[in-house]
Homo-oligomer: A and B are copies of this chain.
């Protein structure tokens, strides 16, 4: 385990703005060493569903991935977004290679069981979902794998999987090969002590401090599942988790999560 591997996850905010995406990818190209990029989807898929007259199915505030929706998100995430990101990285001199979970069987998911809600074609990731060997081989060849949020079940069915979950599951799976740093990149400078003050970045956050701030309501809403996920990755052997602004990955302002 002689090298560090950095895994970056980007989401909708960056993907929706081409200029932001360009700038992020140019910064990413400057980061030394082996890297993996995981991306979610932007608003484009929702817009296309709307343009095609497909109404998003929502149950208890959660989107249901029906067959028509799966088709569109597969086209958008694995097609348009993934290939655009790969082509832009190639233009930056980075030998990127885009993958869905089906490619090389790199992420095999399990369709979420139907309980009170049927989420449709949504894939959850068991502990052994990721085939780390292929990713390791691609990294050793100097490639930068770009993973989209589409997986498969091994039986021919594509599935829609949360991109944060993919990033942390891939990070865990690669800990036998690398000291893994997991970077969640978004539109804020890090975890904020005051959600309205972008300069209130908490530079370091332990699990105990997180629980305290969460119980006080300082950390709330969308950050909670992200940080739960992040601390779980730390517990599972990921060396470091970083929460940072997608435009500032090469700057010192960020939140670094610590095991204790």
Chain A positions near chain B (C-beta within 8 angstroms): 48, 51-52, 71, 74-80, 82-84, 86-88, 90-91, 95-100, 102-105, 134, 137, 141, 143, 150, 152, 154-158
Contact = CB atoms under 8 A, between A and B. Distances in A.
Nearest to A159: B87
Given A90-B154, A90-B156, 8 more contacts: A74-B79, A78-B78, A83-B102, A84-B158, A90-B102, A95-B105, A97-B103, A98-B102
Across the A-B interface, the 7 shortest Cβ-Cβ residue pairs = A79-B79, A91-B156, A75-B75, A75-B79, A87-B102, A97-B104, A87-B152
A102 B86 contact: yes
Given A76-B75, A90-B102, A83 B150 contact: yes
B75 A80 contact: yes
Given A95-B105, A98-B103, A82 B88 contact: no
22 contacts: A74-B79, A74-B80, A74-B83, A76-B79, A77-B79, A83-B102, A84-B158, A86-B102, A87-B102, A87-B152, A87-B158, A90-B152, A90-B154, A90-B156, A91-B154, A91-B155, A95-B104, A96-B103, A98-B103, A104-B143, A134-B141, A137-B141
Contacts of A152: 83, 86-87, 90
Contacts of A79: 74-80, 82
